[in-house]
Amino acid sequence: MAAIRCTGKKTEKDSMLYFTKHGSAYGADIIRLRDKSDTGEYEEVRPCDFLVVLHQLTIYVECKETNATTKPTLGFSRIRKGQWNGMLKAKRNRSPYVIIFQHIQSNQIFMVDSSVLLEAKDKGKKSLSEAELKPYSFSLGTADALLKLFHGRS
């Protein structure tokens, strides 16, 4: 069997469909930001994959995925400089910033608040393990996580 090359696009597409489906019921606008597939080069200043905007609230959304045959681990080397800066900006502005991480092999999806990553990075960590990701397990089938984002941080 040929290996699947993970570009993040599957998770990005699935997440866009999720936010479009569930967000549109609340009048949210989804804005996809241009990336390497559009420009041909990495955008070091791009803060995330897309924004979900509802009234005065802007939610930053970054999508990551891995096809690793090992247990799900979100390595911080996957996060680009512009994304780290976007997390810091969102934190300063008190705006939600979430990372949707998909482990393709096990079809596990996690929605992790950026504060978790920033805190772990500040402590010198290089990744989040499966045990650390588990509390952020997420389903693209329900609007529960989106409602929490719209109605305040959990």
Give the residue extent of every domain in the chain: 9-150
The pLDDT value given to residue 143: 59
Secondary structure letter of residue 70 according to DSSP: S
The pLDDT value given to residue 5: 44
Say if CB 112 and CB 136 are below 8 A apart.
Answer: yes
Tell me what the mean pLDDT of segment 16-42 comes to: 74
Domain spanning 9-150: which CATH class is it, in words? alpha beta
pLDDT band at 150 (very low <50, low <70, confident <90, very high): low
pLDDT band at 140 (very low <50, low <70, confident <90, very high): low
Say if CB 79 and CB 116 are below 8 A apart.
Answer: no
Q: Is the pLDDT of residue 144 over 80?
A: no
Read off the tokens for 25: 């019921």
The pLDDT value given to residue 153: 43
Reported pTM: 0.82
Question: Mean pLDDT in the chain?
Answer: 81
- Phi and psi torsions of 99, nearest 5°: -110, 120
Q: Which helix (DSSP H) or strand (DSSP E) does residue 138 occupy? A: none
Three-state SS at 136: helix
CA angle 10, 115, 118 (to 5 degrees): 90
